[in-house]
Amino acid sequence: MTSPRQIITAGILAAACVGNAAAGEAQIAVAANFTAPMKAIIELFEADTGHTVRASYGSTGKLYAQIKNGAPFEALLAADQRRPELLEEEGVAVDGSRFTYAIGSLVLWSADADKVQDGPALLESGDFNKLSIANPKLAPYGEASLETLEALDLKAAIEPKLVMGENIAQTYQFVDTGNADIGFVALSQVMEGGAITRGSGCIVPAGLHEPIRQDAVILARGEDDTAVAALFEYLRGEKARGVIRGFGYLAE
């Protein structure tokens, strides 16, 4: 005769097996500027849902090219709207899955705590060795950097001092290591908990460049993946939005 204890134990084991079977893995591509907040969101998401996430980080342009060449990603969190729209038009993304998960901010930043006090004045003075920006052909934050210099009528004067990173992560590294003493980086790279945590920086007014609206889209490979669907729902939730805002983004 089966005892009540055996029945309860069997039920717990069965529930555990069902939970494990239901948990899945999402393979996603993420824009480099969103590395820190995405890692924090993934940690929360995995703890809350039991799903796992494998994320690859890089410039939006390169990630788009990899997807077009058959990379096994199931979703893209881009640093712009253009690539996700293109993927929809090209039939590579799932129609209706695209949404804006964050609106980014650009900051003129230096690892030197005293270097950036007045951003426009510093740029006009030319009192710096190199200005690091992301490659505007690959990275939306690079496009915004050039737009800012054009709006300030400083592009021609500063162009000889520009050093370009392949993506915003490399751009930050150039400044962090002193290869450039200032750079236009994503606010999320230097902010946590609502404050710039090291160095000195000046947030670029939004009116100096087009809004950096960052869209996410589910790719055809991930259309039926429950982990991907759960992640996209989670990104719209208050926990993820709190993380996004904490790293200096606006969260729609």
Candidates 197, 183, 209; CA nearest to 247 is: 197
Q: Is the pLDDT of residue 40 over 70?
A: yes
Say if residue 131 is in the same domain as residue 72.
no
18-27, 81-90, 129-138, 152-161: segment of lowest average pLDDT = 18-27
Q: Is the pLDDT of residue 90 over 70?
A: yes
Q: Is the pLDDT of residue 1 over 90?
A: no
Q: Into how many domains does the chain fold?
A: 2
Q: Could you tell me if residue 157 is inside a domain?
A: yes
Q: Could you tell me if residue 252 is inside a domain?
A: no
Q: Is the pLDDT of residue 126 over 50?
A: yes
Which residues 6+ apart lie within 8 Å of 122 measured at CB? 108, 115, 116, 128, 182
Q: Which residues pair with 74 in a beta bridge?
A: none
Say if residue 137 is in the same domain as residue 91.
no
Say if residue 197 is in the same domain as residue 231.
no
Q: For the domain that residue 168 is a member of, what is the CATH number?
A: 3.40.190.10
Say if residue 35 is in the same domain as residue 159.
no
Give residue 6's pLDDT band: very low, low, confident or very high (50, 70, 90). very low
Say if residue 144 is in the same domain as residue 53.
no
| Amino acid, res. 137 | K
Tokens of 182: 């200032």
Percent of the chain with pLDDT over 90: 84
Q: Could you tell me if residue 30 is inside a domain?
A: yes
| Amino acid, res. 213 | R
Q: Could you tell me if residue 227 is inside a domain?
A: yes
Candidates 213, 217, 234, 215; CA nearest to 96 is: 217
7-11, 114-118, 193-197, 225-229: segment of lowest average pLDDT = 7-11
Q: Is the pLDDT of residue 11 over 60?
A: no
- pTM, two decimals, is 0.82
Say if residue 161 is in the same domain as residue 122.
yes
What per-residue confidence (pLDDT) applies to 17?
Answer: 38
Say if residue 142 is in the same domain as residue 79.
no
Phi, psi of 138 (to 5 degrees): -115, -30
Q: Is the pLDDT of residue 193 over 90?
A: no
Say if residue 75 is in the same domain as residue 115.
no
Say if residue 59 is in the same domain as residue 74.
yes
Give residue 196's pLDDT band: very low, low, confident or very high (50, 70, 90). confident
Say if residue 78 is in the same domain as residue 163.
no
Q: Which residues constitute the domain of residue 62?
A: 4-103+213-246
Q: Could you tell me if residue 93 is inside a domain?
A: yes
Say if residue 111 is in the same domain as residue 231.
no
DSSP state of 216: E
Mean pLDDT of 244-248: 91
Mean pLDDT of 70-84: 97
Q: Is the pLDDT of residue 13 over 90?
A: no
What per-residue confidence (pLDDT) applies to 194?
Answer: 75
What per-residue confidence (pLDDT) applies to 204?
Answer: 96
Mean pLDDT of the chain, nearest integer: 91
Q: Is the pLDDT of residue 14 over 70?
A: no
Say if residue 126 is in the same domain as residue 199.
yes
Q: Could you tell me if residue 251 is inside a domain?
A: no
